[in-house]
Amino acid sequence: MKRPIVEVASIGKYTPAKVLSNADLEKMVDTTDAWIRERTGIAERRIADDSETLAFMSKQASLDALSRAGVSPEELDVIVLGTASPDRLLPSTACELQAELGATNAAAFDIGAACSGFLYGLTVAEGMIYAGQAKNVLVVGGERLSRIVNYEDRATCILFGDGAGASLVRPVTDSSNRGVLSSYLKSDGRLAELLYRPGGGANEPPSEKMLQNGSYFLHMAGREVFKHAVKCMADACAQALDSAGLSRDDVDLMIPHQANIRIIESTAKHSGIPMERVMVNVDRYGNTSAASIPIALEEALAEGRVGKGSVILLAAFGGGFTWASMVLRW
């Protein structure tokens, strides 16, 4: 097995207090609590209020992660923020976060890899540290999807929620083999239009027509996305385990992207990992895209499901399509 060079030193999270339940959604669109639970496993999701911008939520999660790692904002070399719902199209939310944190010595940029954004960010951090370009890297996955979801479209609005997670990534600090054991990234841009926002960018700038046809909202071909998500995440898990020189039996906890309980169960089944060793919190947060893995990892640590020495398998899939995986020893 390879000796790790980079460690995920800490993790933090922020989730808004406001809850949007299935019962609330029953009053908004033609759906039922029973349908949502059965088809997605979701019971409720969190929704940001007006003051809970993506930069704000990311800052709270980051302060959590930084204090747990004992690192100050001034010590950060790089801030990488994965998101599909930036506060503004220009500048990056990472730059806004940098200003709010007072991380005056950092370079900051966003990553557009949708639900895979946090794992893409961790892998970029790993590479920059490996190349000697950075020591302390703050990696954030955050979303305010409630601002880009159409609450008249029952096929999408029942799924998504808001929140942020953050981690401090740095060179390994001890010789206990703690750290990133392997990572894997992949994309297929030919399938972009199965999960996308057609309007609002430079291709289709804001217009009266756009407001009428709702092209600035998130659009998704759910059934197609579902099939690809299972296949790609299962493949990503196999790739990351293989390059770490580990088998599925070595995994203490698998933390897949929290999109839908049926996707999670199918991915676990394809990967040969029993559900007792799979983290699930999609019931309480819905799909928070780039925030889902760090929020789930933070909760797994808080609940004692993983601790020092645990082998953790992370896997994500999202718009692009993008997918990714990582094996960590905590």
Cite the active site residues.
115, 257, 287
- 6 contacts ligand UT7 (rule: CB under 6 A): no
Q: Which residue's CB atom is positioned nearest to ligand UT7?
A: 222
Q: Which segment (119-127, 220-228, 266-274, 275-283) binds ligand UT7 by CB under 6 A?
A: 220-228
Total residues binding ligand UT7 (CB under 6 A): 20
Under rule CB under 6 A, which residues in 81-100 are in contact with ligand UT7? Answer: none
Distance CA 134, CA 107 (A): 10
DSSP state for residue 120 in the 8-state scheme: H
Query: What SS3 class is residue 24?
Result: helix
List phi, psi (to 5°) of 258: -90, 85
Taking the complex as a whole, the smallest distance from the CB of residue 203 to ligand UT7 amounts, in Å, to 22
Among 222, 269, 280, 283, binds ligand UT7 (CB under 6 A): 222
Taking the complex as a whole, the smallest distance from the CB of residue 34 to ligand UT7 amounts, in Å, to 9
Distance CA 164, CA 104 (A): 22
Among 19, 33, 35, 310, binds ligand UT7 (CB under 6 A): 35
- Nearest-5° Cα angle at 87, 198 to 207: 40
Q: Which segment (16-24, 136-144, 205-213, 257-265) binds ligand UT7 by CB under 6 A?
A: 257-265
Contact code string over 49-78 relative to ligand UT7, x by CB under 6 A? ------------------------------
- 112 contacts ligand UT7 (rule: CB under 6 A): no
> CB neighbours of 76 closer than 8 A, spacing ≥ 6?
66, 101, 103, 105, 106, 136, 137, 138
- 40 contacts ligand UT7 (rule: CB under 6 A): yes
Under rule CB under 6 A, which residues in 137-166 are in contact with ligand UT7? Answer: 154-155, 158
User: CB–CB of 153/280 below 8 Å?
Assistant: no
Distance CA 134, CA 291 (A): 23
Could you give the C-alpha distances from 72 to 10, 76, 104, 128, in angstroms and in order?
Answer: 13, 7, 11, 19
Taking the complex as a whole, the smallest distance from the CB of residue 26 to ligand UT7 amounts, in Å, to 9
- 322 contacts ligand UT7 (rule: CB under 6 A): no
For the chain, helix (H) and strand (E) counts, in that order, are 11, 13
Residues that bind ligand UT7 in the complex, under the rule CB under 6 A = 31, 35, 39-40, 115, 154-155, 158, 195, 222-223, 225-226, 229, 259-260, 263, 287, 317-318
